[in-house]
Amino acid sequence: MTKKIEPSTSVAEIVRLCPSARNIFDRHGLHGCGGEHGPAESLEFFARVHEVNLDALLEDLNAALNQSSQQPYIYHETLADYIYRRFFKAGIAIVLSLGGMWGVISLLQISLGKELLQPALMPAIHAHAHAMIFGWVGLFVMGFAYQSFPGFKNTTLWQPGWANFTLYLMLSGILLRAIADILQHGGWALSLGGISVASEVAAVVLFMTIILKTARQSIAPHNPYETFIIAALAWFLIQAIFDGFFFFAEATAANLQQTIFRTALLDAPLRDVQLFGFAALITAGVSQRFVPVVYGLGKPRHDRQKLIFWLMNGSLVLDVASYLALFLTGNATWGIALEVAYILMALWAVLLVIQLRIFTPTTQPDRSWKFIRAAYVWLLIAMLMLPFLIPYGLWTGQGFSHAFWGAHLHAFAVGFISMMIIGVSSRVVPILAGVDSKRLSSLWGPFLLLNVGCAARVLLQILTDWRPGLAYSLIGVSGVLELAALAWWGIGLWRVMDLSKTHRAGVLRAPAPLAAR
């Protein structure tokens, strides 16, 4: 009786029945995905994600299956196949220590001191923010790009050994920067800070080179989402240089007053470049390639990718320029320009949600989908808050409300970016490890804790302007809830990565830089 592969047959089952089919899958971007036995996803899912003609793929696979003598396939895992685990594990370690843990400690100190702006906490807060951008967002972006981008482009990763080296550069920069921020001033602070900046900038430049060289190897056609990724890489480099400038501006300040002035001048533009330039653009680019096909949302009725792209970049440039001009001149005209930038930012967020069809029913349900949808709800909340930042400050008589601005940033950074990291990784890692996600935890615990913690933080931070006694007494709890959610999810994801039947990429057992197997 002739055997036949169907669209619903899993890739793992096909590889078991026909080992030589792995050669066909690899031609279309499977490579090390799923380990030796392949992912548990269906052939139909594989074809959709890798943009392969399903009928042609079925024909090739069935022909291979029914050959009298099949070509043997020996699986060899390479550095390019498991490098993502090192970046993901390092990102989890950072967020549970220098990133999230340090942030929670600072938030508890704010709660006890009943004041958002405490000069003594500034070094710790800046070190926490730096670790979150470079160690949490940066490492997950780099790990995902090294693993998924070659598959999307149907090619292989250019120079995996150099890609491995960027992890060491980035981790060195993050750790040295944390020490330099605590030292604040003096020769040691400047020296360690200088090495940190050089290390991180080198890591970003090398990362950009690897991704662009990988894309250049591919014969696959250019896709619009790649424009978002290229722009995000540019903003990644700009923010790394800007972040170094910010550190030296603070480290060389002559007194507290000058430190406060320089922080007020540079901190807001830096965070906007990091979040709305690097993080938002890379998330928007990956979402357009990943979310609709993985969750079966279909194509938008009207393609607005170009409009969204120019709105994202144009509004950011206008935002940074207007803020700096307003701060330095006090001219109200620049305040109007800044408000226009905020409105345009809210507009691109709405258009992006429509473009991705986030609120249409998914045809491919998965435990990760709730994080993706919640992330885009938080994006709308965060960006729709922006146009009210200036009116709120004027209404409360502050001019600029640190409470409202901080609440907006938290809604974006934790509600949107962190929720997206959790959602995407919770979908991707089981596939890469060859594990059926339906047999894993539903993740409702971390989902509820993270959303409750984020909502509490946003509301309580704004409430510090109105009911400081109540708000400060409760705000520390919000950070504990968020950290608990990240730990719950992070430990689970770590275990899934270790379920792979092949190489276990423990960060502390990683080979020396540039080493590859």
Residue with tokens 């009725």: 301
Q: What angle do CA 283, 284, 286 make, to 5 degrees?
A: 65
Task: pLDDT tens for the chain, 517 residues: list them.
Answer: 456 777 778 777 777 777 777 777 777 665 666 566 667 777 777 777 777 777 777 777 777 777 756 566 666 778 888 899 999 999 999 999 988 888 899 889 888 888 887 877 888 888 999 999 999 999 999 999 998 888 777 788 999 999 999 999 999 999 999 999 999 888 999 999 999 999 999 999 999 999 999 988 877 778 888 899 999 999 999 999 999 999 999 999 989 899 989 999 999 999 999 999 999 999 999 999 889 988 988 888 888 999 999 999 999 999 999 999 999 999 999 999 999 999 999 999 999 999 999 999 988 889 999 999 999 999 999 999 999 999 999 999 888 889 999 999 999 999 999 999 999 999 989 888 888 888 889 999 999 999 999 999 999 999 999 999 999 999 999 999 999 999 999 999 999 988 865 444 443 343 444 444 3
Residue with tokens 């009943």: 114
Q: How far apart are CA 367 and CA 353, in angstroms?
A: 20
pLDDT (0 to 100) of residue 515: 42
> Tokens in use for 68?
């009298």
Nearest Cα neighbor of 451 from 374, 349, 372, 515 is 374
> Tokens in use for 463?
């409430």
> Tokens in use for 339?
């408000």
Q: Give the number of other CB atoms < 10 A from CB of residue 187.
A: 8
Amino acid at 100: G
Q: How far apart are CA 335 and CA 326, in angstroms?
A: 6
Alpha helices in 184-304 (DSSP H): 187-217, 225-251, 256-272, 280-294
Nearest Cα neighbor of 420 from 309, 275, 299 is 275
Q: Partners of 42 in the beta sheet?
A: 10
Q: How far apart are CA 105 and CA 54, in angstroms?
A: 52
Q: How far apart are CA 70 and CA 84, in angstroms?
A: 32
**Residue 512: CA count within 13 A, CB half-sphere:** 0
**Residue 316: CA count within 13 A, CB half-sphere:** 25
CA 400 to chain centre: 29
pLDDT (0 to 100) of residue 185: 86
Nearest Cα neighbor of 318 from 303, 301, 348, 340 is 340
Length of the chain as a residue count: 517
pLDDT (0 to 100) of residue 258: 92
pLDDT (0 to 100) of residue 308: 96
Dihedral pair phi/psi, residue 74, rounded to 5°:
-105, 120
> Tokens in use for 315?
């509004």
Amino acid at 218: S
Q: How far apart are CA 362 and CA 296, in angstroms?
A: 6
Residue with tokens 């089919």: 21
pTM exceeds 0.85: yes
> Tokens in use for 159?
């120079």
> Tokens in use for 82?
């498991």
The domain locations on the chain are 11-65, 81-284
